[in-house]
Structure 1
Amino acid sequence: MIKGLGIDIIEIYRIERAIHKNPRFLERIFTEEEVLLFEERNQQPSTIAGFFAAKEAAVKALGTGIRDIQWRDIEIKKTPEGKPYIKLHNNAATIAYSKDIKEILVSISHSKDYAVAQAIAF
């Protein structure tokens, strides 16, 4: 049964601007594994923006928004085939457990100017 749905869209230039304005932006928002993945992909702003949108979509699917969750508590990972999936940590995992959410599926896409993600909590 679907327990939550979230979607987010972001202009890629906003992520580019945040990275240039604040050198610690990546460390504050993303896990070490996520940052390593970005480095493997030459820090492509579209990839970073897609992961950011996925985190936003996930907190919406949890029904909490970001207020009770740290950004790094939601980790976007990739299967060997490249399919994104979400791993929850700390308070995000606690909230999911309290709502009997066992999994959050995510889909990420982008165009030249925008990144979008949709998350469905089960």
Structure 2
Amino acid sequence: MIVGIGIDVVDIARFERSLTRAPALRERLFAESERDRPARSLAARFAAKEALIKAFGGDPVIRWHDMRVVQDEHGNPDFALSGAIAELTAGLGVDRVHLTMSHDAGIASAFVVLESAADRATTTGNAT
């Protein structure tokens, strides 16, 4: 069952200007393991984090460093979640977070799907 979806797009040039104007932004938005990447890659990671926040409905407990974009064993993008967002994920019964990212023509984009193996009757307590 799909628990939530989120999408975000980022203008790479605008994002790069923001990082130049406010260098502390890089440290605020990205974990140390994410920071040494080109602007287009950081923009895609920012879009991924924004898409994840949207998939959760914009929950205010989410912190930027609690969601790191990593690669799985096949090189595909994935999230490493910790802190409040990991607790929120477990509390909602989310078993899998699907992530895809892209950057082309000056735009970075990301799409997130939150999935639960639980059926609707189990999740909501309603019988079908």
Say yes or no: TM over 0.5: yes
1:81 aligns with 2:74: yes
| Structure 1 residues not aligned, in runs of 5+ | none
Query: Match of 1:45?
Result: 39
After superposition, the CA RMSD in angstroms is: 1.3
TM-score by structure 2 length? Answer: 0.83
1:28 aligns with 2:28: yes
Larger-gyration structure (1/2): 2
TM-score by structure 1 length? Answer: 0.87
Residue identity in the other structure for 2:54: K
Alignment of 1:83-98 (within 5 A): 83-98=76-91
Task: Give the deviation of 1:81 after TM superposition.
Answer: 3.2
SS of alignment partner, residue 50 of structure 2: helix
Residue identity in the other structure for 1:112: A
8 A contact 1:30–1:71 mirrored in 2? yes
Query: Match of 2:125?
Result: none
Q: Residues 61-89 of structure 1, C-alpha deviation per residue, up to 9 Å, x if partnerless?
A: 122x1632111111100124321001111
Alignment of 1:13-24 (within 5 A): 13-24=13-24
Name the count of aligned residue pairs: 115
Task: Give the deviation of 1:112 after TM superposition.
Answer: 2.4
| Structure 2 residues not aligned, in runs of 5+ | 116-128
Query: Match of 1:115?
Result: 108
